[in-house]
């Protein structure tokens, strides 16, 4: 704890947060220079959606019907409430 408290400055102590390149006065000037010297960051491509990833991994479209080969439409997903079933189990045990 003593090592941590050592890093807390005394009350009314002026702490310099931005010095050198990060100083407010010269930040814009240095930013213009670094923008000219450093190459531009590469642009990111759009991420693949779930269907495209599954086609690449499984080598077949997951939303095509295996029988009639027509495109299926996603309607909903069912996620059981596990906590609810646990609660019901305890209530039946206690009753």
Spell out the domain ranges in the chain. 2-37
DSSP SS3 for 64? strand
Residue 4 tokens read as 């941590």
| pTM greater than 0.75 | no
Please write the tens of the pLDDT for every residue from 65-87. Answer: 989 989 988 888 777 777 767 77
Model pLDDT for residues 1-56, shown as the tens digit of each residue: 888 888 888 888 887 777 777 787 888 888 888 888 888 888 888 888 888 999 99
In the DSSP assignment, the letter for residue 44 is P
């Amino acid at each position: 704890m003593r090592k941590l408290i050592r890093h807390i400055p005394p009350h009314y102590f002026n702490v310099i947060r931005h010095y050198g390149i990060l100083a407010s006065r010269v930040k814009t000037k240095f930013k213009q220079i670094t923008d000219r010297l450093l190459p531009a960051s590469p642009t990111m491509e759009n991420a693949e959606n779930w269907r495209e990833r599954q086609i690449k991994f499984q080598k077949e479209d997951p939303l095509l019907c295996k029988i009639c080969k027509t495109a299926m439409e996603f309607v909903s997903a069912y996620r059981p409430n596990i906590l609810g079933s646990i609660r019901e189990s305890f209530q039946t045990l206690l009753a």
